[in-house]
Amino acid sequence: MRTAVDSSVLLDLLTDDPQWAEASGEALGKARAEGSLIIGETVVAEIRPVLPEEAFADFLDDWEIRFVPGTLESASLAGEHFARYLRRNPKRNGIVPDFLIGAHAQFHADRLLARDRGYLRDYFRKLKVWIPGRRIH
């Protein structure tokens, strides 16, 4: 089982979020026990600011998280879904990272571990989304 991990889950751990750190840590540990963990460019870019360079590689190694680059196909899918989102929500435009992460997971993993605010389940219906502390959707 290959699990893509969203930056929200990793940031919960890295910032010791009082509401989510425990559930995110448990879910991440379970996902690691069931197979491999992966992240793409967007997740790297979103979590890197909270870690010094030397700690970043150690964090990934400690959790056995592999970097898997996105593809033209995954970026294109993100753009398709983001275009649909903009047609439905013309005054909003700042969530392209969510679409990149969702598309990357759909192409490169079996599921995505994320604190979804609805975008992923709404636009990526083929993607299994696992919210920490809840069941997989």
Over residues 74-90, the pLDDT tens digits come to 998 888 888 888 888 87
User: Total structural domains in the chain?
Assistant: 1
79, 51, 75: which is closest to 65 by C-alpha? 51
Task: State the DSSP code for 127.
Answer: S
For residues 136 and 128, is the Cβ–Cβ distance under 8 A? yes
pTM of the shown model: 0.88
* 135 in a structural domain: no
Q: What would the pLDDT profile of 98-125 be if each residue is shown by its tens digit?
A: 889 999 999 999 999 998 767 787 888 8
CATH of the domain at 43: 3.40.50.1010
For residues 88 and 52, is the Cβ–Cβ distance under 8 A? no
Domain that holds residue 122: 2-130
